[in-house]
């Protein structure tokens, strides 16, 4: 395992994930702006690509790290910020990704039966975007707690 890109104690994977997630967060805002300017096709492509890329990042990098470093210690050590931040980030992150996947399928395909589709997309999409940024903020907090602990001492 090699050292990271950002000069912290983090491994390369963690730094790449942080940079990717930050880019994805900004790209989602750009995608929302596309919808506001009524460029719905580009909006759909942009948001769908980000949701699928994030799914890959979760599967390849985040889940293995969580399983190895956090999962064996919870719930016993949830009182420690190291585990609490990562656990809340993982829980809300899973919810945000599932909600985003649902929106992608409901709004972009005809896979779901009529009953399971939503009609008022705007509040749902805004809500998921807000949740996504909250999860991103928690991801930053987790990164700082794990790899820049001097900030917390």
Partner 1 sequence: MRRSMSFAVFVAVVVLGASALTAPPRNLAVVAPQKTESAEVKIDNFSFGPPTLTVSVGTTVTWTNRDDIPHTVTSSDDPKAFKSKVLDTEEKFSFTFTKAGTYPYFCSIHPKMTAKVIVQ
Residues that bind partner 1 (CB under 8 A): 1-4, 9-12, 68-69, 72-73, 77, 80, 82, 145-147, 149
Residues ≥6 apart with Cβ < 8 Å to 107: 44, 118, 121
Measured from the CB atom, the residue of 11 and 102 that comes closer to partner 1 is: 11
Closest C-alpha among 135, 142, 39, 143 to residue 93: 135
Return d(Cα 79, Cα 57) in angstroms, integer: 27
Closest separation between CB of residue 148 and partner 1, Å? Answer: 10
Closest separation between CB of residue 24 and partner 1, Å? Answer: 24
Closest separation between CB of residue 70 and partner 1, Å? Answer: 9
Q: What's the chain's Rg over C-alpha atoms?
A: 17
Closest C-alpha among 137, 143, 6 to residue 81: 143
**3 DSSP β-pair partners:** 11
| Token pair recorded at residue 58 | 């979760």
Measured from the CB atom, the residue of 89 and 145 that comes closer to partner 1 is: 145
Measured from the CB atom, the residue of 25 and 139 that comes closer to partner 1 is: 139
Closest separation between CB of residue 124 and partner 1, Å? Answer: 37
Measured from the CB atom, the residue of 127 and 149 that comes closer to partner 1 is: 149
């Amino acid at each position: 395992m090699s050292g990271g890109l950002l000069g912290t104690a983090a491994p390369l994977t963690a730094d790449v994930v942080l940079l990717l997630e930050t880019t994805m967060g900004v790209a989602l805002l750009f995608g929302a702006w596309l919808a506001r300017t009524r460029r719905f096709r580009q909006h759909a492509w942009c948001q769908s690509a980000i949701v699928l890329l994030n799914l890959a990042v979760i599967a390849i990098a985040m889940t293995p790290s969580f399983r190895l470093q956090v999962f064996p210690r919870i719930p016993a050590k949830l009182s420690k910020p190291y585990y609490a931040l990562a656990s809340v980030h993982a829980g809300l992150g899973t919810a945000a990704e599932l909600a985003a996947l649902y929106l992608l399928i409901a709004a972009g395909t005809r896979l779901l039966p009529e009953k399971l589709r939503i009609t008022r997309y705007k509040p749902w999409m805004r809500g998921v975007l807000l949740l996504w940024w909250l999860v991103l903020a928690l991801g930053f907090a987790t990164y700082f707690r794990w790899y820049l602990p001097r900030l917390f001492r």
